[in-house]
Amino acid sequence: MIRVIHLALLLLIATTAQSHNYILASDGDTVECVDRNKQLAFKNYLLRNHKIQETPSDYPIMKKVQKKSIWSTSEAQISTAKCEIGTVPIRQKEAISNHQRTPKTSTNSTFTPQHEYAEASVHAPPKLYGTRATINLWNPLVEDSAAELSISQIWLSSGDYDTHDLNTIEVGWQVCPGLYNDSKTRFFIYWTSDGYNITGGYNLEEPGFIQISNNIVLGGSITPISSFGGSQYEMTILVWKDRKSGNWWLSVGTNNTIIGYWPREIFTSLADHAVAVDWGGEIVNSQRFGRHTKTEMGSGHSPEEGFGKASYFRNIETVDCYNTFQSSQVIHPHAEITNYNISVFRTDDWGTSFFYGGSGSSHTHSGVAPLSLSFSLIYLIFSIFFIII
């Protein structure tokens, strides 16, 4: 009887292993190789009649070859997994993290964590059909691992947040312990079609993005990472709209490795074109009582420190209606908080670029409420004391 039970257990394990093809990715994460036609995207009712597009119909056209950088940089690599052709690697279920670009006002709390930015942008007209940029890679400190994050990414958007018609495509790297249960620098994608209300999500966690690559791991870690005053690593990201299918394709690296695409059916205002493209950094500040978070953006150093110390975006380009790369001659910098800043520049080899980031609050005074707040609390305590007596 015991032998029969043992054989049954072995059969169950073998059957499970066959139906769930789990393997280890290059960074040690466990992924499941899933049939490309059975990935989560096809549970989206908007894609019930969608046919997978195997390859882009064309690529954006370069007007001129980029010059070699006068600064020494190297290309980093995203985690990969050896899934069979026809399958895609999917990381195990992740936690839930609040990514929304503009925070909602909660009815259950008087406090809402603040999203803060150091970014540059362009706006239509003319209509925008994609973007390419090379992003420096770092591993910034995130103070509150449960509620905060640090992101460096590109945004393509259309629509309006207030009318719940904001559509976005977002790609880049992030340190987000609340999502991945670690502090590694990881590659991510995100999308929404209703201003972060119901639709959208990270990587392949929500039905939308269709992955084509059988080895790139969305949500996988990126290595190597830049070091202060040392070796500098970067990655090139390209998102563009296919003129025939209308799908938004994603590739990475200088060799344009295809990852997959966002089908046009999942969008409303972004189904045709983007009206804005943003590049830069974002953090979430969850600290209360006037103290600012120590969460770092980019390298954690100010843009004034320059190459090798401050994080950067370089060779920033957009894609026009003729599917041609256009160097973004004029971009509009914006930094909301003095803890993070941005400095735009242009060179022959790096084109339009910028340094950005910062260290958050001063480490010397971290954890200490501002002086004005302290006096206010003292005054309040004395007032209550005299009322009681």
Let me know: does 294 contact 141? Beta carbons within 8 Å.
yes
Token couple for 114: 């603040």
Whether residue 44 is predicted with pLDDT greater than 50 in this model: the reply is: yes
Question: Residue 216 carries which DSSP code?
Answer: B
Q: Report the C-alpha gap between 314 and 93 in whole angstroms.
A: 33
- Concerning whether 282 is annotated as a catalytic residue, the answer is yes
Let me know: does 97 contact 115? Beta carbons within 8 Å.
no
Q: Are strands 210-211 and 167-175 parallel, antiparallel or unpaired?
A: unpaired
Q: Which residues, 6+ apart, have CB-to-CB distance to 26 below 8 Å?
A: 79, 80, 81, 220
Which 3 state secondary structure label does DSSP give 37?
Answer: helix
Can the peptide bond before residue 113 be classed as cis, meaning omega within 30 degrees of 0?
no
**Per-residue pLDDT at 85:** 95
Let me know: does 297 contact 140? Beta carbons within 8 Å.
yes
**Per-residue pLDDT at 386:** 45
Find the catalytic residue in 119, 170, 205, 234. 170
Task: Give the strands of the sheet with 87-91, arranged side by side.
Answer: 22-24, 30-35, 87-91
**Domain spanning 111-358 has what CATH number?**
2.60.120.1270
* Cα dist from 54 to 44, 50, 207, 232, whole Å: 19, 12, 18, 34
What's the alpha-carbon Rg for the chain, to the nearest Å?
23
The pTM assigned to this predicted structure is: 0.85
Q: Report the C-alpha gap between 137 and 144 in whole angstroms.
A: 21
- How do residues 278-322 score in pLDDT, each as one tens digit? 999 999 999 888 889 999 999 999 999 999 999 999 999 999 999
Q: Give the CA dihedral 77, 235, 305, 363, nearest 10 degrees.
A: -60
Let me know: does 337 contact 323? Beta carbons within 8 Å.
no
The backbone torsions φ and ψ at residue 7, rounded to the nearest 5 degrees and listed phi first, read -65, -35
Let me know: does 27 contact 220? Beta carbons within 8 Å.
yes
β-sheet bridge partners, residue 261: 210, 249
* Cα dist from 317 to 63, 202, 279, 325, whole Å: 11, 25, 10, 6
Element (H, E) at 214: none
- How do residues 202-216 score in pLDDT, each as one tens digit? 999 999 999 999 999
Whether residue 222 is predicted with pLDDT greater than 70 in this model: the reply is: yes
**Per-residue pLDDT at 232:** 98
- Concerning whether 170 is annotated as a catalytic residue, the answer is yes
Find the catalytic residue in 143, 148, 282, 296. 282
- The band of 233, judged by pLDDT with boundaries at 50, 70 and 90, is very high
Give 46 or 386, the one with higher predicted confidence. Answer: 46
Q: Report the C-alpha gap between 106 and 177 in whole angstroms.
A: 22
Tokens 């189904």, residue? 271
- How do residues 129-138 score in pLDDT, each as one tens digit? 999 999 999 9
- How do residues 332-359 score in pLDDT, each as one tens digit? 999 976 899 999 999 999 999 999 999 9
